[in-house]
Structure 1
Amino acid sequence: MTLPGFGKIIIFTGVVLIIIGLAWNFIGKLPGDITFKKGNTTIYFPIVTSIVISIILSLIFFIIGRFR
């Protein structure tokens, strides 16, 4: 069983992920991400990065849902 337009959704999602990946390399750590360093141990909490990714994914799924 094939879904009409499913291939376009996969291609669109792939392109969006590539764009996010390239942007991530240039942006790096966002302000608000928490880093603790003590001795040889580093703990990193990407709080703001997680919020930004959540907002972007929510917008992508909202746009995809509108075209169904």
Structure 2
Amino acid sequence: MQVCRRWETHLATARQFHAREGHLQPSRKHIEIVNGEEIKLGTFLDNTRRRATKLSAERRDALNTLDMHW
């Protein structure tokens, strides 16, 4: 269950960044603040790109709606 919650947190963070910046290409070291919590969005997205083939179709679709560059 922890993994699902973590995914949802990172996805919400990606949505926040995309809404503000209009893209989903932060630097690898980018940290996004969500509800006072520091989320390592850049690291998450970089790792997700590297593991793209292992993602479920649902997760890929969620990121594709944010114009994810694979």
Compute the TM-score of the two structures, normalised by the length of structure 1: 0.37
Q: Which has the larger radius of gyration?
A: 1
Which protein, 1 or 2, shows the higher relative CO under an 8 Å CA cutoff with sep ≥ 6? 2
Q: Which of the pair is proportionally richer in strand?
A: 1
